[in-house]
């Protein structure tokens, strides 16, 4: 199947299917909280050991973002760092290719 | 995939640090060797590392009604192998431990083992097994990336199961429990991640095939065939 954009089409279908799946999930699971699986794992541990989650104190002191807003901002910063790296290198390669055909 | 700070007993935190450290040291050694041999490998490391930064910050909703994030480590494992990947992962995980309270310093070893070592290693094994066969190059990358993602969460489940065996059924039944939380959520994410990273790999092949040839990522015929097609 020598079609130029088949991977692009596949990627769009995959992302689209993922969104449909998400909409379907929210429609049948109206009480879903969409909490992080990290948090659910911790809750599970608390349940198994019979200890309250607050009893699990950090072994090494840890700074935590004071609110969800600040946390999401820092996550965006992390993604931005990655995005800058990727865009920079692809541009660098593109320029290199132009100069040496 | 993070184990939260404080949720791993000291004993296990130390065990996973001891497992992670030699791999990291070997990765740093390998990284130095690769970069000394070929400075043009650095931009490729930037791209593969950049995607680890981007993808591991995206928390996506899944069929289980909870959220999880992809890892993005497969591409780096394919291009550089699992040990160098573990170094990049260690940087990302350190960032998240210090600034986001996702994971922590004592559990960093365990998180490096799952996201930085076992996951990429699984992807790398699949990639090596398929590299010199007739299997399509992008399919190989897809499988490596999707499996690197899934095995990361298998490992997290195993780490937690070892530390918290169930009273009835022991490690096995608690492994199944944690797999229900981590792995099921992860399946759709792993598939999307695999497809997206295969697409990214296509662009690397189109823009900079010579670095892939010099690092012997794929045999020359395969890369040439892919380029003549595009």
Rg of chain A over all Cα atoms, to the nearest angstrom: 22
Query: Which CATH number does the domain housing residue B16 bear?
Result: 1.10.1760.20
Does A40 share its domain with A84? no
Digit-coded pLDDT (tens) for B116-175: 999 999 999 999 999 999 999 999 999 999 999 999 999 999 999 999 998 888 899 999
- List the single best residue of A72, A82, A92 to mutate versus B (max B Cβ within 10 A): A82
Quick check: B163 and B9 in contact, CB under 8 A? yes
Task: Give the β-pairing of A35-36 and B60-61.
Answer: unpaired
* Host domain of residue B18: 10-229
Residue B28 has pLDDT above 70, yes or no: yes
Find chain B residues with C-beta within 8 A of A23's C-beta: none
For residue A90, the chain B residues in CB contact (below 8 A) are: 47, 203, 207
Cβ atoms of B20 and B83 closer than 8 Å: no
Predicted local distance difference test score (pLDDT) of residue B97: 93
Answer yes or no: do A9 and A45 share one domain. Answer: yes
Q: Calculate mean pLDDT across residues A82-99.
A: 92
Q: Based on the domain organization, do A83 and A100 belong to the same domain? A: yes
Which residues numbered 67-86 in B keep a CB inside 8 Å of some CB on A? Answer: 67-68
Which structure tokens are listed for A27? Answer: 């429609």
Give the C-alpha separation, B61 to B188, whole Å.
Answer: 10
Contacts of A58 in chain B (CB under 8 A): 5-6, 104, 106
In the predicted model, is pLDDT for residue B109 greater than 60? yes
Contact A65 B192 (CB under 8 A): no
Q: Let me know if residue B5 belongs to a domain.
A: no
Compute the nearest-CA separation of A67 from chain B (Å).
10
Say if B17 falls within a structural domain: yes
The structural domain count of chain A equals: 2
Query: How many other C-beta atoms are found inside a 10 Å radius of the C-beta of residue B59?
Result: 19
- Which residues in B lie closer than 8 A to residue A97 (C-beta atoms)? 207-208
The verdict on A50 and A30 lying in the same domain is yes
H or E element at residue B19: helix B10-37
Q: Is there a single domain that holds both residue A3 and residue A40?
A: yes
pLDDT tier at B14 (50, 70, 90 boundaries)? very high
Asked whether residue B1 is domain-assigned, the answer is no
Q: Give residues 14 to 53 of A whose Cβ lies within 8 Å of B.
A: 14-15, 18, 21-22, 25-26, 29, 31-42, 44-45, 48-49
pLDDT tens for each residue of B171-206: 999 999 999 888 888 999 999 999 999 999 999 999
Q: Which residues of B touch A83 (CB under 8 A)?
A: 50, 54
Q: Which of residues 60-79 of A touch B (CB under 8 A)?
A: 60, 62-65, 71, 74-76, 78-79
Share of chain B above pLDDT 70, in %: 100
Contact B218, B212 (CB under 8 A): yes
Query: Closest to B50 (Cβ–Cβ): which among A59, A82, A94?
Result: A82
The per-residue pLDDT of chain B, averaged, comes to 93
Say if residue A90 is in the same domain as residue A75.
Answer: yes
Instruction: Identify from B1, B5, B104, B163 which residue to disrupt to test chain A contact, counting A C-beta atoms within 10 A and taking the largest count.
Output: B5
Residue B67 phi, psi dihedral angles, 5° rounding: -115, 150
Q: For residues A6 and A54, state if they share a domain.
A: yes
Domain count, chain B: 1
Domain extent, residue A73, equals 63-101
Question: Are A74 and A88 part of one and the same domain?
Answer: yes
Q: Are residues A54 and A69 part of one domain?
A: no
Extract the tokens encoding B214.
């010099």
Residue A4 sits in the same domain as residue A51: yes
Could you tell me the pLDDT band of residue A101, with boundaries at 50, 70 and 90? low
**B155 interfaces chain A, CB cutoff of 8 Å:** no
Kindly state the tokens that stand for B37.
């041999």
Is residue A30 located within the same domain as residue A75? Answer: no
Claim to verify: residue A67 and residue A55 sit in the same structural domain: no
In tens, the pLDDT along A7-63 reads 999 999 999 999 999 998 888 888 778 888 888 888 888 888 888 888 888 888 888
Q: Is residue B3 part of a domain?
A: no
Domain assignment of residue B137, yes or no: yes
């Amino acid at each position: 199947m020598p079609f130029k954009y088949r991977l692009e089409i596949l990627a769009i279908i995959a992302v689209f299917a993922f969104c449909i799946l998400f909409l379907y999930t929210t429609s049948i699971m109206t009480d879903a909280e969409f909490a992080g699986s990290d948090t659910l794992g911790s809750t599970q541990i608390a349940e198994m050991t019979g200890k309250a989650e607050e009893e699990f104190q950090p072994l090494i002191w840890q700074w935590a973002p004071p609110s969800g807003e600040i946390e999401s901002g820092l996550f965006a910063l992390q993604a931005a760092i990655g995005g800058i790296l990727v865009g920079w290198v692809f541009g660098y390669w593109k320029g290199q290719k132009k100069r040496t055909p | 995939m993070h184990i939260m700070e404080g949720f791993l007993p000291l004993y296990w935190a130390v065990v996973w640090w001891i497992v992670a450290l030699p791999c990291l040291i070997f990765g740093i050694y390998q990284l130095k060797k690769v970069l000394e041999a070929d400075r043009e490998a650095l931009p490729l490391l930037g791209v593969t590392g950049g995607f680890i930064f981007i993808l591991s910050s995206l928390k996506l909703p899944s069929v289980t009604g909870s959220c999880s994030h992809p890892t993005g480590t497969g591409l780096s494992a394919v291009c550089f192998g699992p040990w160098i990947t573990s170094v990049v992962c260690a940087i990302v995980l350190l960032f998240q431990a210090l600034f986001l309270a996702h994971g922590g310093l004592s559990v960093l070893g365990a998180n490096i083992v799952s996201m930085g070592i076992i996951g990429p290693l699984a992807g790398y094994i699949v990639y090596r097994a398929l590299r010199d066969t007739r299997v399509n190059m992008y399919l190989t990358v897809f499988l490596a990336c999707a499996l690197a993602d899934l095995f990361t969460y298998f490992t997290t489940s195993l780490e937690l199961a070892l530390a918290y065996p169930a009273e009835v059924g022991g490690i096995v039944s608690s492994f199944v429990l944690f797999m229900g939380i981590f792995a099921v959520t992860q399946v759709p994410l792993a598939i999307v991640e695999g497809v997206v990273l295969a697409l990214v790999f296509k662009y690397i092949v189109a823009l900079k095939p010579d670095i892939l040839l010099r690092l012997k990522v794929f045999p020359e015929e395969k890369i040439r065939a892919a380029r003549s097609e595009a």
